[in-house]
Chains A and B, each alone.
Chain A
Amino acid sequence: MVILGSFDASGSPVITIRVIGPDGLYKDYQATIDTGFTGFIAMNVNELVPLHLQTEGATEVTLADGSAVYNLLALGSVTVGGKTESGSILLDDNSGDVLVGLDFLRAFNLALIITSAMVILYDKDEALSVIFQLMATEPTGSPDTTPTGGSTGEA
């Protein structure tokens, strides 16, 4: 499995993921790949509603500056590259971004390559020759930061 990501307007690496709630309702998001995030997914608490997510409890999250915030927790599934995995979803009051973190990479058995113009997620068991072949087509210059859209629906 090879997943090609892109860069958002701020230059952060992003991929498109589908988050699926317990009733099968889903929504597609552009998620930022945050290797400083140790969890699976984090998103705004308002996304509880369209996905019919159920809060299971709460936890404490440490930010990079050492401060702490409290977040609600839900369980949900994510589909990317044709594969679906379940995990815990952090629900934050303030953030408008969707983040995927290190638990996400572990759950999908993904490795990450970021160059100046490409974002590549690939199955750790994938032959590296495929990756190198892909990277040979890497465009030169600045990354493409064209915004991508999202959608909602029912799985």
Chain B
Amino acid sequence: MPPTHPSDREIVLKGRQIYDSKYRSGFERDFLGQFAAIDIVTEDAFVDEFPDRALAKAKIASPSGTFFLVRIGSEAAFKVSGLSHGHPRLV
């Protein structure tokens, strides 16, 4: 039976649980505004000023890992205007 991949929701919920319990307080003190990529299996975290670099660092450490990305100090990693994202345009 092929391995099942976790959904985006499962990754975020697991990652946030790890972030809240292990990293949030320290990271918000030391790395506010930067990005953290958290391996949801090993629970290791990788921080960088840029989101792609945080992910790239995490991928080097765990090439087949699955990562939760968060902006330190924010609930979400990114903001979108919302007009065109998640709300398809009518034609």
Contacts and interface: CB of A to CB of B under 8 A. Distances in A.
Contacts of A123: none
Max chain A Cβ within 10 angstroms of own Cβ: one of B55, B75, B84: B84
Interface string A24-48: 0000000010101111101000000
A109 interface: no
A62 B79 contact: yes
Q: Which secondary structure dominates where chain A touches chain B? A: strand
A62 B75 contact: yes
Given A71-B8, A73-B69, A88-B69, A63 B80 contact: yes
Contacts of A61: 76-80, 85-86
Contacts of A34: 80-81, 84-85
A68 B84 contact: no
Contacts of A40: 51-52
A71 B81 CA distance: 15
B2 interface: no
Interface of B: 5, 7-9, 11-12, 15-16, 37, 40, 50-52, 55-56, 58-59, 65-70, 74-89
Interface of A: 10, 12, 32, 34, 36-40, 42, 55-65, 67-73, 75, 86-88, 90, 92-97, 99, 101, 103
